[in-house]
Amino acid sequence: MNTAELLVKCLENEGVKYIFGLPGEENMAVLNALENSSIKFITTRHEQGAAFMADVYGRLTGKPGVCLSTLGPGATNLMTGVADANLDSAPLIAITGQVGTDRMHINSHQYLDLVAMFEPVTKWNAQIVRPSITPEIIRKAFKIAQSEKPGAVHIDLPENIADMEVTGEPLSIRGDRLSMYASYRSLSEAALLISEAKNPLILVGNGAIRSQASQAVTDFATRLQIPVANTFMGKGVIPYRHPLALWSLGLQQRDIINCAFDETDLVIAIGYDLIEYSPKKWNPQGKTPIIHIGELSAEVDSSYMPQVEIVGDISDALTEIMHRCDRTGLSQPHALSLRPQILADYERYANDFSFPIKPQKIVYDLRQVMGDEDVVISDVGAHKMWMARNYHCNHPNTCIISNGFAAMGIAIPGAIAAKLVNPTRKIVAVTGDGGFMMNMQELETATRIGTSFVTLIFNDGGYGLIEWKQNMHYGKPAFIKFGNPDFVKLAESMGLKGYHITATEELIPTLKDALAQDIPAVIDCPVDYSENMRFSRKVGELSCPI
């Protein structure tokens, strides 16, 4: 047995089902070992796509997605997806081939110090310098990638080490990580603050999803009658139809939900990470009292200085606080008076049939077609702002948004991973025409491996989000327009089903037909992004009703 074969045995031991990547000269030993493995190697068309697939796989399953590249340009192509996973706290293992250790001291073809290169975008990374340490490296990599906060780990395997003979076995995995529990003192202090607050507000983030605390958060809010806002990555922690749900916070501009934060006298931040939405946006003066509830202590930020920190298992902490908290006789928090306005703003586009289609209408219609457990993957661009604001979820991890790194090109690779994880659910990749062209080659991968999903393109012929920002800052756009191919013909040339929307009334039936296909489908949907500046003007004139 050589090192590469031992590495694959270790990956099997960790429960790895898929490895996404590209073949190369320096990872041939690993590919050879995978031929006789239970792990399915999925050959992608670009290493960035492979990393995005591993990224979304990790976020949806809580288990590290694994991607593989060769050295040099193969490894550099992985970087964007690896960084995205790390900043969005998705467990990921990146494995790179490398020149032999006998070539590292000279100027070698395609050689880069990959350990140094990946250091800023990973939780930990290492090179396998001796065959015998492979089981320890793999076990440590998975343990670190999955521990709170999850993230990316990189393993570099020199080609001469990969071919060396070795004896050894994978290390045993000794159960799940132990839960930590908050102190009685912090729980009691939090309960007292909540009992006395007149206008408390819950801000829930992705940490509550990672900790599988959705039901606990919903029960906590319902029992204490405290309204809930979620970050972009906290969608679905509380069902969007719940009467206490105030939906998403996170736009760079003020929105209706910001009015709730203006009036609150206590923010209960549950599983919230500062990278999800800067506290300077909702607590600019740093004066709002905060209770921090999470598996890790709060980061230091002048706008996020909690009165109480509850560090431990989130579900347990919420249950214990409920037992200690009494809000009997207190009036309904003012923030709930915003819900009718939020609902009315959402519903006003239900019967808007203007064309090109307003982004709010596209999102509204998409929501009508998708089931509660179906999954959308949003790319990055102007459409992301509308998906984040207007696409609402009843379950966690049913709307995946690249938020921390905000990397364009994630939607199509992410949809492939989502379909592998959830083969019976409907999957839609929502993307702009800019993001679509960055990784559309992975539609061939989707066709080849039999993962059918729909790609919905918001087509405006330019980089719409940058145009939006330019118009806000300078009053005019610059260098944001480009041409597009015929997306229907492009889809058909790849063996996909292609659609072009010519009237707003066509969108829902087209989505239904596309989702019924047993092959990937692409929908080209013209969008009216003049709504972007209309929205900016509207929120700029926002007057809070409470």
Tokens matching residue 390: 């207007």
Contact criterion met (CB below 8 Å) for 542 and 259:
yes
Full DSSP string of 260-324: HHHH-SEEEEES--GGGS-HHHH-TTS-S-EEEEESSPPPPBTTB--SEEEES-HHHHHHHHHHH
Domain membership of residue 177 (yes or no) is no
Confidence of residue 545 (pLDDT cuts 50, 70, 90): low
Count of positions (residues) in the chain: 546
Show which of 105, 132, 163 is a domain's final residue. Answer: 163
Question: Taking the CA atoms of the chain, what radius of gyration do you get in angstroms?
Answer: 24
CA 42 to CA 21: how far, in whole Å?
Answer: 6
Look at residue 545 and tell me if it is in a domain. Answer: no
Asked if residue 283 is part of any domain, the answer here is yes
Query: Domain for residue 374, yes or no?
Result: yes
Asked whether residue 138 is domain-assigned, the answer is yes
DSSP-assigned beta bridge partners for residue 378: 401, 430
The CB density around residue 369, as the number of other CB atoms within 10 Å, is 18
Which whole-number Å values give the CA distances from 412 to 212, 332, 364, 404, 454, in the listed order?
26, 43, 21, 18, 9
Chosen domain end from 311, 335, 359: 335
Task: Please state the pTM of the whole predicted model.
Answer: 0.95
Residues 137, 279, single domain; the answer is no
- If asked whether residues 70 and 101 sit together in one domain, one would say yes
Residue 533 belongs to some domain of the structure: yes
Do 312 and 427 belong together in one domain?
Answer: no
State the residue range of the domain holding 533: 348-538
Residues 358, 259, single domain; the answer is: no
pLDDT digits (tens, 9 = 90+) for 390-435: 999 999 999 999 998 999 999 999 999 999 999 999 999 999 999 9
The pLDDT, as a whole number, for residue 100 is 81
8 A C-beta contact, residue 327 and residue 194: yes
pLDDT tens-digit readout, 245-298: 999 998 878 888 999 999 999 999 999 999 999 999 999 999 999 999 999 999
Buried b (16+ CB within 10 A) or exposed e, 504-518: bebbeebbeebbeee
As a whole number, the mean pLDDT across the chain is: 94
CATH for 499? 3.40.50.970
**Residues 259 and 131 occupy one common structural domain:** no
Torsion 459-463-465-468 (CA) sign: negative
Q: 394 and 294: one domain?
A: no
State whether 15 and 153 are in the same domain: yes
| CB-CB contact of 98 with 70 (8 Å) | no
Question: Are 151 and 191 members of one domain?
Answer: no
CATH number of the domain to which 318 belongs: 3.40.50.1220
Distance between CA atoms of residues 95 and 156, nearest Å: 6
If asked whether residues 380 and 526 sit together in one domain, one would say: yes
Of 308, 335, 362, the one marking the end of a domain is: 335
Neighbours of 122 (CB within 10 A): 25
Please tell me the total count of domains within the chain: 3
Cα distance between residue 21 and residue 96, in whole Å:
10
The token pair at 509 is: 């039936």
pLDDT recorded at residue 102:
75
| 262 Cβ contact partners less than 8 Å away, ≥ 6 residues apart | 544
